Amino acid sequence: MNWRARYRGMALVAVLSAFSSSGAWAQASDSAVENARRLLAAGNAKQAYQELSAVQDKMSGMPEFDYLLGVAALDSGHIDDAIIAFERVLAVVPGHAGAQMDLARAYYAAGSFDLAEAAFLKLQASNPPPAAQIAINRYLETLRARRLLIQAGWSGFGELAIGYDSNITGVPGNFGAAAAQSFNIIGITATGNAIKRDAPYTQGAIGGEYHHPLSRGWSYFVGGEARGRYYFGETDFNIASGEVHGGAALNAGDDQYRFTGAYAPYNQKGDAPGDPQPTNDRRIGGASFDWRHSLDPRTQLGLGLQYNDVRFPTDSVENFQQIYVAASYLKTFEGKGSPLMYLTAFLTDDHAKQQFDNGVNGQTASKSKNLLGGRSFFAYAMSPKLQAYGSLSLIYRKDKDDYARSTVIQSGHDLWAEIGGGLAWQFREKCALRVQYFYSNNNSNIDIYDYNRSEVSSAVRCDLN
């Protein structure tokens, strides 16, 4: 039985107690009420609302009827009618737990966020069942995020982690055999970045963003973050990265729009041969547009469009410009564990301007490519403080030019997959400990790009706002 059913069961006991001596229960058993209850159980809130509205003049003021009317109105989009119905219930039965919860949800759906937050905080303090507490917490988190759109202020985070990476350089285990298949060269021994390396690491991150409202739902924001990873025994592969960004956001009821410009440097020395030595450094500058639409308090759709200019300071042949298009779907469910599901799919067009000699009969090629990918994320709350989560990602790569990454394989293509999961424990109000494991595999028809990788880590993150 889910938390909503439990609240409604508690509410029914309260109603029966209040009216057992007055004969009102006989009136509440009218066929319209019984039929509406069946329709709601079957998920047909629209029909239930129509049937209950038809007899509202006769039965309004009876808590059980008003509660069913409120539920039907809320679930079929008649938010104002739902608020009025739930308020009538609470005027007669102040302890009606189901009406308290659904009135808070109705305030949220109506955009009365201050009233919704007050109602959810009151419910939170009443020691609700664990599943209801999880749902309340998620609403409160969403309300705090929305507040940032209308109130000036800072938000930020800090994170510390330790972990182990089984394949820092992302290369095949038998590099010599892979090189023979990819370039028809026998007897190559892996050196530098081609050596498969593994090491434990520690890492840290810090970031912040300032929001300031303007008018008519508009606001602006500026922010940034810095990250670092230190590999024990493999310090040439330490990573220092960051990002600065700024832009504008529009909050238009159920729709949110975000326009962002960003610059992100990434620094990793690596161990490539050469003088001067090439590095794995890159610089990304770009602009993006993001749209989110709330179908209801538990369902959100999204679309995104990005333009990125990616530069490699010591290896210009890798430079490319990228157009990135994505769609997303977010859904939270009622019931035990309050499951959450997030799905996203994307497509890119990566255009490299610089040609190079690909080593095949004097031909030239570029590193231009297309990516097609998707990711699924699922979370399940084992308790109000403990959450299990998992994800699956797939990305298909197709080279645009012949012999772009091999002198033997004409048309290169890869399928990268990652699966992982973990546990998150919220040990303080705004701090969580994550323990997670991820396994990835790149399956390419060019063997030198075939590899697998495992990463296990534990991280503490605290949010500030």
CB 350 within 8 A of CB 368: yes
Q: Which of the two residues, 119 and 151, has the higher pLDDT score?
A: 119
Q: Which residues pair with 424 in a beta bridge?
A: 387, 434
- pLDDT for the residue 16: 42
Angle at 179 between CA 173 and CA 180, to 5 degrees: 120
Instruction: Write out pLDDT tens, residues 130-144.
Output: 777 877 887 888 787
Instruction: Write out pLDDT tens, residues 252-264.
Output: 878 899 999 999 9
| Residues with Cβ within 8 Å of residue 425, at least 6 apart in sequence | 385, 386, 387, 432, 433, 434
- pLDDT for the residue 326: 98
Q: Give me the DSSP letters along 345-406.
A: EEEEEEE----EE-SSTT-EE---EEEEEEEEEEEEEEETTEEEEEEEEEEEEEESSTTSS-
Confidence of residue 4 (pLDDT cuts 50, 70, 90): low
Domain 153-464 has CATH 2.40.160.40: yes
Q: Which residue in this structure is represented by tokens 């739930």?
A: 86
- pLDDT for the residue 390: 97
- Flag the least confident range among 116-130, 179-193, 213-227, 381-395: 116-130
Instruction: Write out pLDDT tens, residues 324-358.
Output: 999 999 998 877 888 999 999 999 999 998 999 98
Q: Comparing C-alpha atoms, which of 258, 423, 399 is closest to residue 320? A: 399
Confidence of residue 19 (pLDDT cuts 50, 70, 90): very low
- pLDDT for the residue 207: 97
- Burial of 415 (C-beta count, 10 Å sphere; 0-12/13-18/19+): middle
- pLDDT for the residue 22: 43
Beta strands of 65-168 (E only): which ranges?
A: 153-165
CA 202 vs CA 156, 165, 281, 426, 448: distances in Å:
21, 11, 20, 21, 29
Confidence of residue 374 (pLDDT cuts 50, 70, 90): very high
- Flag the least confident range among 12-21, 66-75, 152-161, 432-441: 12-21
| Residues with Cβ within 8 Å of residue 262, at least 6 apart in sequence | 243, 244, 245, 246, 284, 285, 286, 287, 288
CB 436 within 8 A of CB 161: no
Q: Comparing C-alpha atoms, which of 129, 202, 126, 131 is closest to residue 161? A: 202
CB 259 within 8 A of CB 67: no
Residue 332 to residue 383: CA distance in whole angstroms: 16
Mean local confidence (pLDDT), 232-248: 97
Residue 354 to residue 368: CA distance in whole angstroms: 9
DSSP H or E segment with residue 45: helix 45-54
What's the token pair of residue 432?
């969580």
* Dihedral pair phi/psi, residue 118, rounded to 5°: -60, -40
CB 388 within 8 A of CB 379: yes
Domain ranges of the chain: 3-128, 153-464
Confidence of residue 362 (pLDDT cuts 50, 70, 90): confident
**pTM for this one?**
0.78
Residue 117 to residue 140: CA distance in whole angstroms: 7
Q: Give me the DSSP letters along 151-208.
A: S-EEEEEEEEEEEEES-TT---S-HHHHHHHHH---S----GGGS---EEEEEEEEEE
As assigned by CATH, the class of the 3-128 domain is: mainly alpha
Q: Which residue in this structure is represented by tokens 């990711």?
A: 375
- pLDDT for the residue 415: 98
Residue 162 to residue 204: CA distance in whole angstroms: 9
| Residues with Cβ within 8 Å of residue 188, at least 6 apart in sequence | 175, 176, 179, 180
CB 223 within 8 A of CB 207: yes
Chain mean pLDDT for the chain: 88
Mean local confidence (pLDDT), 158-173: 96
Q: DSSP letter for 277, please.
A: P
247: Cα within 13 Å, side-chain hemisphere: 17
**Is it true that the peptide bond before 276 is cis, omega within 30 degrees of 0?**
yes
